Amino acid sequence: MEAITKTDFKFEGQRSLYVGKVRDVYDIDGRFLAMVVTDRISAFDVVLPRGIPYKGQVLNQIAAKFLDATADICPNWKIASPDPMVTVGYRCETFPVEMIVRAYLTGSSWRDYKAGAREICGVPLPDGMREHQRFENPIVTPTTKAEIGAHDQNISREEIISSGLVSKEDYETLERYALALFARGSEMAAQRGLILVDTKYEFGSRDGEITLIDEIHTPDSSRYFYADGYAERFEVGLPQRQLSKEFVREWLMDNGFQGRDGERVPEMTDDIVADISERYIELYENITGEKFHPADSPDRMEQLEGNIKNMISRLR
């Protein structure tokens, strides 16, 4: 199956097409969004030159599952998922921050800590912590939302409120929702023998109501550890067994790329692309506990377009 890295459909009532790092988002009548999760892959805020077959389906189906499973915690934007790579939902006015929740010192937070940082986004961290160590309680470390090609920037709660990016009342709601969603995600992960390590949430406003948007608890937006063996590996300083996109970042770093000026993305061979695709399917099956059924079809693009058209016609 060829990776689907670009769409350029024309739908009835279409007002615009936003092309993000991974998603193509169609605005329908200014009321609805049809989000196609493509097979593009990004790391270090850079879109890599080759797509990963089935990655979009994996991400969309995981997100749809968790949006449904958390709808009792806060409203979300989803109406339906008419295609394995598509979610159609309500258009919301997006808040200009991403709410990142961390339960462990790992990934970028560990890299910053190891370099001497003792706070993240205004949250103080004690001396003497070790990689993959659990925080006493999950912490919220927001970032600003960057345009494609730019880097998200860490920002503190106080800076968000004082700069007027988000009102104090709304920010407190965002933080409360984020922590509650993380708690639910952690419970569901534990049922699968996993630890939800960190994740990000995005929110918008619909008719004045704060609403969860975009993806949730996917391996692109989240990091999971296998619970079995976590304590033993942590005690002796071994790397944790992970379910996340971190393996892609590690491959890039091993080949001299972290998205910095002057660095070039290493060659993505057919074997590398196939390996990443297989890892995403593994992620899907471990996170959901369900067998992955690839959406293969010789006329896949026509099928994709038709499924969205049919959904839009029912909504309009």
pLDDT along the chain (316 residues), means of 10: 93 96 96 98 93 97 97 98 98 96 95 96 96 97 74 89 96 98 97 96 97 94 95 96 86 94 94 94 94 93 97 95
Q: Is the Cβ–Cβ distance between 205 and 194 less than 8 Å?
A: no
Contact 58, 66 (CB under 8 A): no
Please give the pLDDT value at position 247: 86
Please check whether residue 78 is in contact with residue 89, taking contact to mean a CB–CB distance below 8 angstroms: yes
The per-residue pLDDT for 146 is 63
- Does the predicted TM-score (pTM) go above 0.85? yes
Model pLDDT, residue 152: 74
Give the 3-state secondary structure of 165-208.
Answer: CCCHHHHHHHHHHHHHHHHHHHHHHHHCCEEEEEEEEEEEEECC
User: What is the pLDDT at residue 243?
Assistant: 83
CB 220 within 8 A of CB 202: no
pLDDT number for residue 147: 60
Q: What is the pLDDT of residue 89?
A: 98
User: Residue 178 has what pLDDT?
Assistant: 98
pLDDT the model gives residue 51: 97
Domains of the chain (ranges; CATH) run: 14-92+268-315 (3.30.200.20), 94-247 (3.30.470.20)
What pLDDT was estimated at residue 151? 62
pLDDT at residue 59, as a whole number: 96
- C-alpha separations of 213 from 5, 35, 255 in Å: 22, 11, 34
Cα–Cα distance, 83 to 93 (Å, whole number): 24
pLDDT at position 246, please?
A: 81
